Chain A
Amino acid sequence: MKRAGVFSFVLLLLSPLSTYGQAPSPVPDRRAAVIAGVVNEGTLAAKATPKVARPFSDRINVNARQHVGAYLIAVNAERSAYGALLRALEAARVDKQVGAPPASSGGTSLAMKGLAPKIFGVAVERGALIREVSGTSLTFRLNPVGVVKALQGAGLVELNDDYFKSAVQRFSARFSLAATFDVSRGPDAGVFTASDQQLASWAARYTIIDRRDPASPSYAAQWQELLLDTPYQKSVEALNDALGRWQAYTDWEASLAKSVSSSVEGPLSANGNVEAAAKAYSALVTAELKKLEALPVPDEVKRTLDGYVTELTRVQTSIDKIYKFAGKGPLVTFDLTDKRDVGLPDLYTATGVFEAGLGQSRKTDFTFNGSVSFFTSKPTGIDHSLKSMNFTGQLEHPLGKGLPAPTLTFAARYSFIPNDTLVSIETRPTTTPEASAIAPAPKGHVVFFQGKLTVPIKDSGMKVPISVTASNRSELIKEKDVRGSIGITLDLDTLTSFLTGRP
């Protein structure tokens, strides 16, 4: 990642300066996405309890015209405020999608051999596993939501029972597994065989406490406060009423409702097939909204739509703040990791992690973790299998109110090595056959402090970290060490966005 960052930094320096002045590219056509949202709402309404009287025909109808507003915004996305709102709404969707896999890290030249890698490959394609490549390491993360979806997609399970669904969801949300393979190991070095030799580590994580769900009752007060936003609600009402006074629109709306009632809800009440109804509704509403586009929009509707866009943009900012606040709620996790070294017995590490935002606004991030590491058997020449106990605390606080704000970080780590032991150390480039070397670690106490100031450079994706670290000794050498460092880190996603002008 660091090498990629440096490479991109060089590219940035070589890029023509004219790139910087580029206006954001036009917002992609979002009309289909708006329609998909309306159809989804109809589908959910048809399945809701208590039973909803007119699940599809009431989605776009008298006194509920925000979907039409959204469609008109998408039609006029070239207007800067409209485009910006669509970007904000979509960004919110991407950020909040539960279990969304990370963006593809690109292709890998790693060759594969044998049946196991094929199974892994199919699982990745079906979304049951997430794959990450770093050097010669290949990590697969098991996403339980993905596994369930993959099994459903393959027709292996049917999740119709609500209790089972919710039980699976509860478990999925709290449990994850990961396995890392080092393809430089084994007789077929450089080829991914998923053999026991190549399995470098595995990890399991369970979330014990998670107060980061914005749907939790803990955040009810924030959502309730948003309900008191009168200017926003007035703007919705103004748009609703302006559309209601536009004769051509009300004729179109009445015609749509009549068509939906006869060709979607009629069959639905007869056969109960919600999916077929949704499909029919999607086709109908897509065709009808095209007709609406052709109508000349009165000035009153344009004005009220402008007002609605302004207010919805403000409300979306408030929603984002609630998500951000919830995202810093208390989180307690337990991790168990098994590191498999060539020259040492398996090393298990059990770690408890507590993370939370401190203060009323949760601006200060606090992280504490405690871990214990032990070998599954005594390494050769060592009398004990317990390796070490570690405790780490970190505080991170943004300075000032500017965005992006510099952050100040203080971290401290204490390690207790009760007996002389062995550690594996990286001594070579990752492409050489030797995976690691073994070195003695004398018993004792290791204390480490770090103070760091990270200064982000606006809209560049670059951050400059300046840090001072001090320790009484390292794991290997009993010698005090104080050092200062300054560097540059690059967020490639931000950089790409900056260079292309796309969010």
Chain B
Amino acid sequence: MHRIQSRTYVGQPGETVTVSTVVSGGGQARVTVGGQPIAGGQFQLPSTAGATVRMQVALTGPQGASCVVTITVVDGSADTDFLLCSTFNPAPVNFYDFSVAANAAVSAFAAARRAPVSPAPAAAAPTAPAARPRRKTSRKRGK
């Protein structure tokens, strides 16, 4: 997956997105995709090139509560964001748009950006189990 601009990414069909939140100051965060909370901090991009999906991170809590959002794997590492409950923004909600492009297009984009290319997710293959790309992704993160 690659970052196009702030909170906007492009990934391969079926690619797994891992999201984690670190909340402090008594806040509570909720990560949803299509209005549904994501399970296990992961979700998969649609399997069709051209599709889009929006993720939403909402934070509530007393003033000063904060949340660091980490999204992996973006350009071979992680992208991070920050939310804060403050006077004029007491309940922040940030959005993250993910577009799906064909494997070749994503590879070309990465080459143009000179960013590391993620291996093509096996989930794109019709017979592949859904868990396989997650294992690949986590091995890569562990290196």
Say whether A466 faces chain B, with CB atoms less than 8 Å apart: no
B84 (CB) vs chain A CBs: closest residue? A41
- The segment out of A86-94, A381-389, A399-407, A421-429 that lies at the interface is A86-94
Distance to closest chain B CB from A244 (angstroms):
10
B28 contacts A223, CB within 8 Å? yes
Q: Which A residues touch B97, using CB under 8 A? A: 63
B62 (CB) vs chain A CBs: closest residue? A214
Distance to closest chain B CB from A296 (angstroms):
23
A37 contacts B28, CB within 8 Å? no
Say whether A159 faces chain B, with CB atoms less than 8 Å apart: no
Say whether A224 faces chain B, with CB atoms less than 8 Å apart: yes
A52 contacts B86, CB within 8 Å? no
Say whether A143 faces chain B, with CB atoms less than 8 Å apart: no
Say whether B58 faces chain A, with CB atoms less than 8 Å apart: yes
Say whether A44 faces chain B, with CB atoms less than 8 Å apart: yes
B88 (CB) vs chain A CBs: closest residue? A70
CA of A323 to CA of B26, assembled, Å: 12
B95 (CB) vs chain A CBs: closest residue? A63
A237 contacts B88, CB within 8 Å? no
Specify which of A64, A96, A229 is in contact with B62 (CB 8 Å cutoff).
Answer: A96
Kindly count the residue-residue contacts between A and B in the assembled complex, taking CB atoms under 8 Å apart: 138
Which residues of B in the span 58-75 have a Cβ within 8 Å of any Cβ on A?
58, 60-66, 68, 70
- The segment out of A15-23, A53-61, A476-484, A486-494 that lies at the interface is A53-61
Say whether A148 faces chain B, with CB atoms less than 8 Å apart: no
A223 contacts B61, CB within 8 Å? yes
If A53-B79, A216-B26 touch, does A89 touch B91 (CB 8 Å cutoff)? no
A67 contacts B88, CB within 8 Å? yes
B90 contacts A44, CB within 8 Å? no
CA of A53 to CA of B63, assembled, Å: 23
CA of A30 to CA of B6, assembled, Å: 27
Distance to closest chain A CB from B41 (angstroms):
14
A96 contacts B63, CB within 8 Å? yes
Distance to closest chain B CB from A22 (angstroms):
27
B interface, how many residues as a size bin? 35 or more
If A52-B68, A236-B93 touch, does A61 touch B84 (CB 8 Å cutoff)? no
CA of A224 to CA of B92, assembled, Å: 14
Contact with B along A197-238 (1 / 0, CB 8 A): 000000000000000011111011001101111101100110
Q: Which B residues touch A215, using CB under 8 A? A: 25-27, 61-62, 64-65
A50 contacts B88, CB within 8 Å? no
B82 (CB) vs chain A CBs: closest residue? A45
CA of A331 to CA of B74, assembled, Å: 47
Q: Which B residues touch A74, using CB under 8 A? A: 88
Say whether A34 faces chain B, with CB atoms less than 8 Å apart: yes
Specify which of A44, A66, A213, A228 is in contact with B93 (CB 8 Å cutoff).
Answer: A66
B5 contacts A41, CB within 8 Å? no
Distance to closest chain B CB from A211 (angstroms):
13
CA of A65 to CA of B56, assembled, Å: 13
B30 contacts A227, CB within 8 Å? yes
CA of A228 to CA of B6, assembled, Å: 25
Distance to closest chain B CB from A444 (angstroms):
49
Q: Which A residues touch B82, using CB under 8 A? A: 41, 44-45, 48, 52, 55, 58
CA of A178 to CA of B26, assembled, Å: 30
Say whether B94 faces chain A, with CB atoms less than 8 Å apart: yes
A232 contacts B91, CB within 8 Å? yes
Contact with B along A137-164 (1 / 0, CB 8 A): 0000000000000000000000000000
Specify which of A64, A89, A93 is in contact with B94 (CB 8 Å cutoff).
Answer: A64
13 A–B contacts, CB within 8 A, in A order: A37-B89, A41-B89, A55-B82, A61-B6, A63-B6, A64-B94, A70-B88, A93-B87, A215-B65, A219-B26, A220-B26, A232-B93, A319-B90
18 further A-B pairs in the complex, CB-CB below 8 A; given A89-B87, A223-B60? A41-B84, A44-B84, A48-B82, A51-B80, A52-B80, A57-B6, A62-B5, A63-B6, A63-B94, A66-B92, A74-B88, A92-B63, A92-B90, A213-B26, A214-B61, A227-B29, A230-B35, A237-B56
Q: Which residues in B have some Cβ–Cβ distance to A below 8 Å? A: 5-8, 22, 25-30, 35, 56, 58, 60-66, 68, 70, 79-82, 84, 86-97
Closest 5 CB pairs of A and B: A215-B26, A45-B82, A70-B88, A63-B7, A63-B95
